[in-house]
Structure 1
Amino acid sequence: MKGLLRNISQCTLCKTCLPLGPRPVVTANPKSKIVIIGQAPGTKVHASGIPWDDQSGKKLRQWLNVTEEEFYDTNNFAIMPMGFCYPGKGKTGDLPPRKECAPQWHKALLDKMPHVELILLIGAYAQNYYLKDKKTLTERVGDYQNYLPTYFPIPHPSPTNRFWRAKNPWFEELVVPQLREKISELL
């Protein structure tokens, strides 16, 4: 695992496309029980090198009902986004994650984590890559039970996603308690 993580940290596969240069942000451990697959680091995470070190991370930890200590313990959580580096700024937020990372690194990482019991798929990019169905994010989140025990699809916790959460209050009322229960069982 250490060699693989070192190789990822030195990756320059899409260097010419990254406005801030490569800085892969990923954490994993052979003992990890839960894998978090989100989109890509933002500028704050790019600067710190700490995954989910922003407002989205605060909201995610609140949804999971875990402390920062629990969240950053790689025995509990591995964190591997769809794109490991900051992709750049778009019109209404960050650009989509680069498409090179997941096919290049995800399987190799997952193969080194035999104790994974749950994969959280955060947002449409992760869900589209792993679930390969024709459902919308809203449909997948509503049908989360159909993807268990392997996957648990949830929306992105970004502040820019507050409109989705306002239109879908059932997520925090009904799904978040089930998510918390599942995370508690695994930890």
Structure 2
Amino acid sequence: MRIIAGQYRGRKLASVGKGDAAAHLRPTTDRVREALFNMLNGGRFGDPFTDATVLDLFAGTGALGLEALSRGASHVTFVDDGRVAQRLLRENITLLDARSETKVISRSALKLPPADKACDLVFLDPPYGKDLGAKALSAAASAGWLAPDCLVVWEENAAQTPPTGFTLLETRAYGDTVVTLLRA
């Protein structure tokens, strides 16, 4: 895995190795990440990265949030409760020397603490087929993590129905990965 574009372009991220099957650690491939970020950067969604405050739920390796940081986001908060994911995430933050622009919350995305600041962009990549995405969005909204009109990028194995309070913008399939874009 590597960073696709921006200030960290080409920088390699920590190897997942055997990953953590029990925690459903399944990093977004470089190909899907590149297609996703090209779509987001295509103008239809404005500039979702420059100076954005980002929330990366079920962060795993942190590749999505770190890509946003590389493209101009000002801060990323990563949330994951998996031990392997936390180790990889911290390693990737160190590799990019991005400690001052990031925060790691080591807990379930369903039990978020109150937000320091509402986020403009949210990455949501729950374990596929576990019905956790809408619950995590609800937890984020309740804890003040979602700015008005924030953009939500939801990665699953099927298109997702927007929960109450969200508008569907677009759905795109990339092999067995389906990205659903929502606006709060």
TM-score range, shorter chain: 0.3 to 0.5
Greater share of residues in helix: 1
Larger Rg over CA atoms: 1
TM-score, normalisation: structure 2: 0.37
TM-score, normalisation: structure 1: 0.37
